[in-house]
Amino acid sequence: MVQLATSDIQTREVLEWKGLHLFHFKSSSCSQKTRIVLNLKQEKWTSHEINLGAQENFEPWYLGINPRGLVPTLVIDGEVHIESNDIITLLDARFPNVKLIPAGLETRVAELLRHEDDLHLDLRTLTFRFTQFRGKEPKPKAALTKYKKGGTGTVGGKPDPDKQREIDFWERAASEGLTDAAVRTSAARFKAALNELDRTLQQQPFLLVGELTILDVAWFVYVNRLLMCDYPVRRLHPAVSKWFDKLLERPEFAAEVVVPPHVRQAIDENHDRQKAAGETLIEIAGL
């Protein structure tokens, strides 16, 4: 569980906050996941939206709350928690009115969420290549410089290797681009994972047991993002597609994945350019 130590936090005012506060961004997959869990639990929370497009997550005030510069961040009665899977697990423990982790399966759920989290950079690769056009430098040098210098750089009072992982990703993207080879690797990893999920969903209605769990929430968000990238979920993984469509009928899920019209237009225009160039996800990854 990633709860920040007091020494990790420079924006000290949050240590005095009461209740549930969530720092998030509308289209962030990790934020969507967290908001869906809050919807299912019907808990009241205070929204603090961080505009990732404007690099607000690299501003000193926010890096003083989350040294990794990521969303979401949860502040609950002065405790600061980062990493979405840890946050949703914490919410399930603190607010058991609607249980999303069945008793006795806590360890299994943690293992499966780690597997899902291992694919996060793969999802980012596909997102930045195949949704909106972002140019050759997804994160400007000035923003990265601010990120490197900001925050304590510690989690739990120790130097945080995850921040360096973030820096390495964006610097590599700026120097090499999001290459076809990286796309093929990421798409292949998702195809293998979704094949496994499809086999499970051919036998049962949800991913872990016969009822909705946190695992369904996490993978719903990933599948939604893959569909935005034009990954052929419906053709390659029909059971996953059917499961996704049923969850999308639920307002707790649907409300969090609405795409604003101007964003949808930008995605469609990017897909049109890629189709004209023969550079769609399907073509590059051989799907």
Residue 261's pLDDT is 94
The predicted-structure confidence for 213-241, as pLDDT tens digits, reads as follows 999 999 999 999 999 999 999 999 999 99
Task: Please work out, in degrees rounded to the nearest 5, the angle formed at the alpha carbon of residue 64 by the alpha carbons of 175 and 33.
Answer: 75
pLDDT at 147: 93
Percent of the chain exceeding pLDDT 70 equals: 100
More confident residue, 21 or 133: 21
Mean pLDDT of 141-152: 91
The predicted pLDDT at position 173 comes to 87
Distance separating alpha carbons of residues 214 and 89, to the nearest angstrom: 8
Rounded mean pLDDT, 100-129: 94
Identify the pLDDT of residue 232: 98
- Asked whether residue 136 carries a pLDDT value surpassing 80, the answer given is no
Q: What is the mean pLDDT of residues 158-181?
A: 91
Amino acid identity, position 265: Q
The 10s digit of each residue's pLDDT in 19-51 is 999 999 999 999 999 999 999 999 999 999 999
What does the pLDDT average to over 53-73? 95
- The model's confidence at residue 137, banded by pLDDT at 50, 70 and 90, is confident
Residue 135 scores a pLDDT above 80: no
Q: Give the domains, in start order, of the chain with CATH numbers.
A: 6-106 (3.40.30.10), 109-136+177-285 (1.20.1050.10)
- Banded pLDDT at 161 (limits 50, 70, 90): very high
Residue predicted with more confidence, 104 or 134: 104
* Residue corresponding to tokens 């019907």: 42
Q: What is the C-alpha separation between 207 and 212, in angstroms, rounded?
A: 8
Q: Using an 8 Å Cβ cutoff, are 233 and 275 in contact?
A: no
Say how many Å lie between the first and final Cα of the chain, rounded: 37
Query: What per-residue string of b and e applies to 86-119 under the rule 16 or more CB within 10 Å gives b?
Result: bbbbbbbeebeeeebbeeeeeeebeebbeebeeb
254: left (phi > 0), else alpha (psi -120 to 50), else beta? alpha
State the Cα–Cα distance between residues 128 and 121, nearest whole angstrom: 10
Q: Taking 70 as the threshold, does the pLDDT of residue 91 lie above it?
A: yes
CA triple 51-56-57, angle to 5 deg: 100
Work out whether strand 73-76 and strand 79-82 pair parallel, antiparallel, or are unpaired. Answer: antiparallel
* pLDDT class of 1 with cuts at 50, 70, 90: low
Q: Which amino acid is residue 235, in one-letter code?
A: R
Q: Using DSSP, state whether 17 is helix, strand or coil.
A: coil
Inter-CA distances, 59 with 51, 121, 172, 286, Å: 11, 22, 22, 40
Q: What is the pLDDT of residue 133?
A: 83
Distance CA 37, CA 252 (A): 8
Q: What percent of the chain has pLDDT over 90?
A: 90
Question: How far apart are the C-alpha atoms of 38 and 76, rounded to whole Å?
Answer: 13
Helix, strand, or coil here: 205? coil
pTM: 0.95
Check: CB of residue 14 under 8 Å from CB of residue 82: no
Q: Assess contact for 31 and 25: CB atoms under 8 A.
A: yes
Cα 89 from chain centroid (whole Å): 15
- pLDDT bin (cut points 50, 70, 90) of residue 78 is very high
- Give strand ranges (E) for 11-159: 20-24, 46-49, 73-76, 79-82, 154-155, 158-159
